[in-house]
Amino acid sequence: MYTNSLKIFRLLLVLAAVAILVFAIAAGPGRDRPMKVSGTRPVRQSLSWSITSNGKVEPVEPHVIQAQITTFIEKVSVKEGQTVSRGKTLLTLDATESRSELAHMKELLVAAEDERRVALSGGAPDEIAQLENDLAKTISEIARLRRQGESLERLYAGQAATRDEIDQNKIALQRAEADKRLIEQKNDAIQQRSKLQAERAALRADEARHSIRFLEEKLNSARVIAPVPGTLYSLPARGGTFVHTGDVLAEVADLSRVRARAFVDEPELGSLKAGQTVEITWDALPNRMWAGQVEQLPKTIVARGSRNVGEVLCSVSNEQAELLPNTNVNVRIRIAEHENSLTIPRATVRTEGDKRFVFVVDAGHLRKQQVTVGISNAKDYEILGGITDNDLIALPGNSELHEGQTVTLAEEK
């Protein structure tokens, strides 16, 4: 019994050793079996680096026409999108109230000027005439009383007149002189009052003139004209509607030159410079492209939805006036363009920290090679150093690539 168990145990050991030997024989060549990889060689080509974003078209010099009076719109003489010349009547506003106010102000001006003229002459003519007449009579009376007094003094010396007659004459003379002073004071008061009236009338006349000029401007503004030649790209005004002072009636501009306000994401702003070439496309006209250039870089970062962007102003040639204000467009800004650059596919470049490398197929093995990259596009990197035109670069596949790995070339692309 013991002998049989020992035999069985030895048999199992032999079978296990045989299995291990078979596995080792089968696995040994697998470790050294080359892995098939595809490869590519660097290519010389022109490579451009661009930033793409969205943007909005706006006029370079927009002219916004606003209502100068609060009133109704009588008539609209043009249509939106129409090309207009400078001075062309766009619409007419109801100016009935302004005309009435203007007539009233002209009446006030005439009255103020008349009052000032009268005041400068010394007062009302009838009042001045009455004072002058009273003063002449009083002066004449004073002269008469003085002559009479002198005569009474002589008669009194010859005992032909009494002291009482002399005293009565003196009292009458004093009364007449007092009347003269009162008339002169009244005349001075009238002169002073007339001076103040003239000044006040002059102020009212100036205010009336100012109001007249203002109302005349309002009347002129009732005929709304184009300030410049161009395209009437916005016309919110409608006949018969009521508008307030400051409401926008129309917008006009020369659309042969417009600009695109490009919304560029914050991380890409550092590569922008004034003068870089810009290409504008519009989904509504997919076969058209408009050329321009970067005109003004952003001064601040703004939030636009979930993005932080800088607003880059780009001048655009729009000779056919096809790009309309407020149109949403696609913007491509060319950052750099290099001729005869050594390039490889982006997929072949690996990143390790702040360094980049590729796997070069060298004598049936992979060699990890650090490279220096330049500009890039969606497909390729420009290579500035690390490899040459003749190097064969391994393309990524289903298996991970490693330094020193044995490989065979399945295909060269």
Considering the entire predicted model, what is its pTM?
0.56
Q: What is the C-alpha separation between 230 and 224, in angstroms, rounded?
A: 15
pLDDT score for 89: 94
Q: Where are the domains of the chain?
A: 35-48+340-412, 51-61+254-338, 63-89+227-253, 95-221
According to CATH, the topology of domain 51-61+254-338 is Elongation Factor Tu (Ef-tu); domain 3 (2.40.30)
C-alpha span between 188 and 71 (Å, rounded): 52
Which of the 8 DSSP states describes residue 68? Answer: S
In the three-class reduction of DSSP (H, G, I as helix; E, B as strand; rest coil), residue 191 is classed as: helix
Q: Which fold has domain 63-89+227-253?
A: OB fold (Dihydrolipoamide Acetyltransferase, E2P) (2.40.50)
Out of 1.10.10.10, 3.10.20.30, 2.40.420.20, 3.40.50.150, the CATH code matching 35-48+340-412 is: 2.40.420.20
For the CA atoms of 285, 289, 290, 296, the dihedral, rounded to the nearest 10 degrees, stands at 110
pLDDT one-digit tens code per residue, 287-337: 899 999 999 999 999 999 999 999 999 999 888 888 989 999 999 999 888
- Closest C-alpha to 401, from 358, 371, 370: 358
- pLDDT value at position 77? 93
* Per-residue model confidence (pLDDT) at position 197: 86
What's the chain's average pLDDT? 87
Q: What is the pLDDT of residue 300?
A: 94
Phi, psi dihedral angles at 21 (to 5 degrees): -65, -45
What DSSP character marks residue 150?
H
Residue 257 binned pLDDT confidence (cut-offs 50, 70, 90) = confident
- Angle of helix 125-157 relative to helix 163-221, nearest 10 degrees, comes to 170
Q: What are the E-state strand segments in 235-297? A: 242-243, 248-253, 257-265, 277-282, 285-296
- Per-residue confidence (pLDDT) for residue 161, from 0 to 100: 82
Q: Which long-range contacts (CB under 8 A, 24 or more apart) does 216-219 make?
A: 216/102, 217/68, 218/68, 218/69, 218/95, 218/98, 219/95, 219/98, 219/99, 219/102
**What gap in Å lies between CA 232 and CA 81, rounded to an integer?**
5
The 10s digit of each residue's pLDDT in 166-181 is 889 899 889 988 988 9
What is the distance between the alpha carbons of residues 59 and 39, in angstroms, rounded to a whole number? 52
DSSP state of 161: S
The 3-state DSSP class for residue 242 equals strand
pLDDT attached to residue 393: 94
Model confidence band, residue 30 (pLDDT cutoffs 50, 70, 90): very low
- Strands (E) located in 318-353: 328-345, 350-352
